[in-house]
Every structure is written in C-alpha cells, then in structure tokens.
Chains A and B, each alone.
Chain A
Amino acid sequence: MIRSLAVLLISAFAGAALAQDAPLIRLGRGFAAEEQLWLMSVRTDLTPNQGKKYQLKQILFQANPERFQAYLAGELDAGTAPGMALIPARQQGMDVKIVASICLEGVGGQYFTTTYMVKDDGPIKSVKDLKGGTIGVVGIRTATDLWARAGLINAGLAPDRDTKVVPMAFPVIGDAVRTGKVSAGTFVEPFYSAEMAKGGLRKLFTAVEAVGYEHELLDLFFSEKFLKAHPEAVRAFLADYVAVTRYYLKNMEQAKRDLHKAGFVRTPVEIYVKNHDWKRDPDARVNVDSLKKLTSFMLEKLQWLDKPVNVDEMVDQSYLPK
C-alpha cells in the first residue's frame, strides 16, 4: 500500500516536473479559419505531446499588425498569419519561418473561398462597374485588401484611383453594401452564410477568381530563434497539430461543436456547423508555389514589396512529421 502510494506520488511529481521542463510556446492566434489549431487547446486528449514535450498558450489578436508587434517585442514565439502578410514582414527583416499550412483559398465547390458581394438589385453587374465606387475590406494590406485589388486590376481598374478600398469591420460590411455606403464588400464565414440567409446580396468575385489560382490563406510561423532553441518541442507540437488537423477533417461537425462549446466561436452553432469550410491539407503542407506567385504579384502589380523575397528560404517544412 505504502509502496503504491510512493510510486503514485513519484509519478505525479515526475509528470509535473516534465511539464515544467517542456518549453512553452506562446502562440498568437486570430479569430477565423484556424479551427484545428484552436482544437489543440480544447481537445488536449488529441494532443499526446502537449504538456510533456511542449506547453501551449494561445493568445488572441484581432489583427496582424498587433500580432506582429507583440512578436517583435518578444512576447510571442509563434503565431498564425496569412502567408501574404508574412512575406512583406520577412522582407522588412522580421525573423520568421513558415512551418505549416493552416488553410487555403481552395478551388472546388466543397470549399469556402472569400467572396466579394454587391447589392442584388444594384447597378453593379461586373467588376468593371466598380469604377467610381468603393470596396470594403477588413484591413489595409491584408489578404482581403490584396484580393480586392487583384479583382480590380483584372477588370482594368486602378485601385485607389478608380475605386477606393476602405477598411471596415466584418460585421458591418453586409449592411454597408445593402445601404449603398460601399459598392462591394468582403465576406468570410460565418458572416457570409449569415448575410446570404438575410438575402439581398450577390456574388461579384471570389479570392480564387481574383488571383486566378488556389493559394495559401493562413500559415503557422515560428521565430528562427525558437526553432533553433527547441527543435524537438516544435516537432512534437507539429506532430500533434497534424493529428488534430486529420481528426478535424474527419470529424468536422463534432469538432466545431466542441469549439463552439469552448467559446472559440460565437456564431449560432447550427449555422456554424453547416458552413462550408476552407480547404485544409491533412499533412499541413504549405503550397510554396502559390506563395511565390503571390510574392511576384505583390512586387510587380501592387508595389507592396521593395525587393523580391526568397520564399524557399522563409518556408521550413522539415519540422512537420515525415
């Protein structure tokens, strides 16, 4: 009896000591399209390495600039961000490596892709009709800004000169389009489904149509410093991440219900579980070619970059499970 108790106590202390030794990953997360990552904090039973080989602390940020500032200030070791936001950050000299994909703007009816919509009974029938109008995006120099500009350029319009691009919050874009305050707006899930249910809006173009190919939307990044200091912790974290991604893809409805219950998502659960999801690679592999194409587009068409960025150098998938 005494021996069993001693073994139990020693195991408990050893477990606690192990957890204390496991490096803490301070990860800056966003508020949309990162389901499998959030699930790692909600369903820890799916992440056998968590607490043993790494500890995870997810911190919510509303936008990329604030997340990058916290990262630069040394308050984060890792984070989520659109690949197309990480490319200019890398060009500015930010120590950052993309290690895995979260989701893509994918081709195929089964996937959701960010959609630009106009008033159903309004005068705008094609992108060309946006000349002299305004298009609402969620933030300047974000992915939504890039797609809007790509759509305008494809239609022969000059962003800013022919059509103004203004930032606004996702929840107000629907009414802004309906009341004519903006000519077109950006819609992502869950706002897309909610606005479609209300009616009165029509699709103008999608993110995939704007750039012309399937591409990375959100990626996971780490600092090179952290990768060098704790390679095993990152490998263990990514092994769990891939396992959770596969679980999520197979059990999407249950996973969504768990996330909703945990308060990660505020959309009414019945709408949330029915929404089309973004495309996610079960192995979390990054579509490097799409990032290269986006880099060229940002450099040549948008002048968002002063010089080319070596995408191969900023993506390191060696930490992903083989």
Chain B
Amino acid sequence: MSRVLPFVPVAVAMAAWEAAARSGKWSPLLFPSLERIGNELARFFTHPEMLQEALLSLERALGGFALAAAAGILLGVLMGRSRLVGELLDPLFSGTYAVPKLALFPIFIFVFGIGSLSKVALVFLECLYPIVVMTYAGARDVNRTLLWSAQNMGASRAATLRRVVIPATAPYIFAGFRVAVPVAMIVVVITEMVASADGLGYQVIYAMSSLRTDRMLAVVVVIAALGYLLDKVLVLARDRLIYWEKLDTYYV
C-alpha cells in the first residue's frame, strides 16, 4: 500500500489533465492529450541528440551545484564556528538572499559569455545561498557537550572540526543540498530558455515557439524526472553517509 500511495496524486493529476484535454473546451494545441505527450516523450528517448541536450543541462546544473556545495560548506562552517566571519558575512547573505539572481543573468552573459559558463555561474550563485544558510545554522547548533568532550580528550581544532563539527552539521548540509538541487535545475532551464542554442531549456522554448505544447510538456516531464532522480540520489547518499540519523517520523 505504502508503495502505491505516492503514485495516487500523480494518477489523479493525469486523469484530471486527460479529462480537461478531452472535454473539447480548450484547443488541443494548448491542452494536448496524454497520448500525444507520451508520443513526444517516446520521441525524446529515441533521439540521441535529445539525450545529449539533457546531458548538457545536467552537466551545467551539477557543475554549478558542485561549486556551490564546496564553497557553501566552507563558508557556512566558517560562519558558524567563527564569530568574526559570522558577523562579517551573515548580513551579506541575509540581506541578499531574497534578491532574484536571475535578474543578473544579462550581466553574467557579458562577463562570462553566452555559453555554459554564464549558466554555471548563475546556478552556483543561486545554489550557494540555501547551502550556506543551512550549513551556518548547523555549524552554530553543534552540541556543546560534544565539543567540550572532544577538547577534554585533547582533540586539536582540526580534529574537532573533522570529527565533531562536520558530522554534526552534515544533516543540515544535506537539507541545504535538497533545497539547492531543484533550484539548480530550475535556473539552468530558465537561463537556457533566455539565451542558449542548446540544452533542455532551449528545447522548451523551441517547442513553445513552434506551438508544440505536447513536445514542450514532454521536455518538462523529462526535467521533472531528472529533478526527482537527483533528489532520490541525494536522499540515498544522505542515508548512507549519515546513517546515525535516519529520518523517522512519528505520526499521531
């Protein structure tokens, strides 16, 4: 039963879509049937060049995410464990978190060019914030007893950081990753829609400009599936690496 349950909302949404598409109330050009979207999905997976486009978008998203993860963990831990760094950078991150970085994309194009670099740079910037904020919260929240115990046992600062602070912060870091991964996909697709000659975002805009809503939705399904898969991989990695803190909710 619990295995079937997650598919129920998806099935309901698909049934509602099909009912709307068959109602004849809207143009099939705007509201294509599931069959047409399915055909386009099959076309996507049988065309190697389309898979190449998916791979390119994935590279851009993961490239930016990886850079943000490295920088974000470093900055977050430093901010959480050093009062000076925290007081220096916290206002900067809190003050600019709400800024829609996508608005800066034209500037990124001028600095990094129209190719992959501008997109990776924007993904990096968008992903950096949730990772820094979550890591910062985790690094500040390390149990003092654990820190004192490590110091009493003669652990150096580096050893305390490696053996106590990082493991204690890891759940927060993964929470930041889970927020950042879908952000990476969204940003990459939008930037490819705005200025690109390749990638899944380009395929979305190309299909849209050709009035092929069925084809566009097929690409959207691929993007959603990629996002879902990336999240599953992340959860799997989290459960393996932070085996002592598996998510276990008690329902009332």
Other-chain contact of A181, B26, B113, B202, B211 (Cβ < 8 Å): B113
Nearest-neighbour CB distance to chain A for B243, whole angstroms, equals 47
Q: Do A134 and B106 contact each other (CB < 8 Å), given the known contacts A73-B30, A89-B211?
A: no
CB contact list, A257-288 vs B, under 8 A: none
User: Cβ of A166 < 8 Å from any Cβ of B?
Assistant: yes
Task: Give every chain A residue within 8 A of B196 (Cβ-Cβ).
Answer: 166-167
Give the nearest-CB partner of B212 in chain A: A92
Other-chain contact of B210, A134, A141, A164 (Cβ < 8 Å): A141
Contact, CB under 8 Å: A181 / B209: no
User: Cβ of B205 < 8 Å from any Cβ of A?
Assistant: yes
Contact, CB under 8 Å: A134 / B211: no
Nearest-neighbour CB distance to chain A for B65, whole angstroms, equals 24
Complex-state Cα separation, A179 to B110, whole angstroms: 8
Task: Give every chain A residue within 8 A of B202 (Cβ-Cβ).
Answer: 140
Nearest-neighbour CB distance to chain A for B56, whole angstroms, equals 13
CB contact list, A157-181 vs B, under 8 A: 160, 164-169, 172, 175-176, 179, 181
Nearest-neighbour CB distance to chain B for A159, whole angstroms, equals 9
User: Cβ of B186 < 8 Å from any Cβ of A?
Assistant: no
Contact, CB under 8 Å: B194 / A167: yes
Contact, CB under 8 Å: A140 / B30: no
Number of interface residues of B (CB under 8 A): 22
User: Cβ of A182 < 8 Å from any Cβ of B?
Assistant: yes
Nearest-neighbour CB distance to chain A for B194, whole angstroms, equals 7
Task: Give every chain A residue within 8 A of B197 (Cβ-Cβ).
Answer: 134, 160, 164-166
Q: Say what secondary structure dominates the interface of chain B.
A: loop
Nearest-neighbour CB distance to chain A for B98, whole angstroms, equals 24
User: Cβ of A94 < 8 Å from any Cβ of B?
Assistant: yes
Contact, CB under 8 Å: B29 / A182: no
Contact, CB under 8 Å: A140 / B206: yes
Give the nearest-CB partner of B109 in chain A: A181
CB contact list, B179-211 vs A, under 8 A: 194-197, 202, 205-206, 208-211
Interface size, A (range): 20 to 34
* Complex interface bits, B203-232 against A, C-beta within 8 A gives 1, otherwise 0: 001101111100000000000000000000
Nearest-neighbour CB distance to chain B for A94, whole angstroms, equals 6
* Complex interface bits, B30-65 against A, C-beta within 8 A gives 1, otherwise 0: 100000000000000000000000000000000000
Task: Give every chain B residue within 8 A of A179 (Cβ-Cβ).
Answer: 110
- Tell which of B114, B202, B206 has the most Cβ of chain A within 10 Å: B114
Contact, CB under 8 Å: B206 / A141: yes
- Tell which of B30, B114, B209, B210 has the most Cβ of chain A within 10 Å: B209
User: Cβ of A65 < 8 Å from any Cβ of B?
Assistant: yes
CB contact list, B139-183 vs A, under 8 A: none
User: Cβ of B27 < 8 Å from any Cβ of A?
Assistant: yes
Nearest-neighbour CB distance to chain B for A221, whole angstroms, equals 14
Contact, CB under 8 Å: B29 / A93: yes
Nearest-neighbour CB distance to chain A for B46, whole angstroms, equals 17
Task: Give every chain B residue within 8 A of A164 (Cβ-Cβ).
Answer: 197
Complex-state Cα separation, A141 to B205, whole angstroms: 9
Contact, CB under 8 Å: A140 / B109: no
Contact, CB under 8 Å: A88 / B114: no
CB contact list, B1-31 vs A, under 8 A: 26-30
Q: Which residues of A line the B interface, CB within 8 A? A: 64-65, 68-69, 72-73, 88-89, 92-94, 134, 139-142, 160, 164-169, 172, 175-176, 179, 181-182, 304
16 contacts between A and B (CB under 8 A): A72-B27, A73-B27, A89-B211, A92-B29, A92-B210, A92-B211, A94-B211, A139-B209, A142-B209, A166-B195, A166-B197, A167-B194, A168-B109, A172-B106, A176-B110, A181-B113
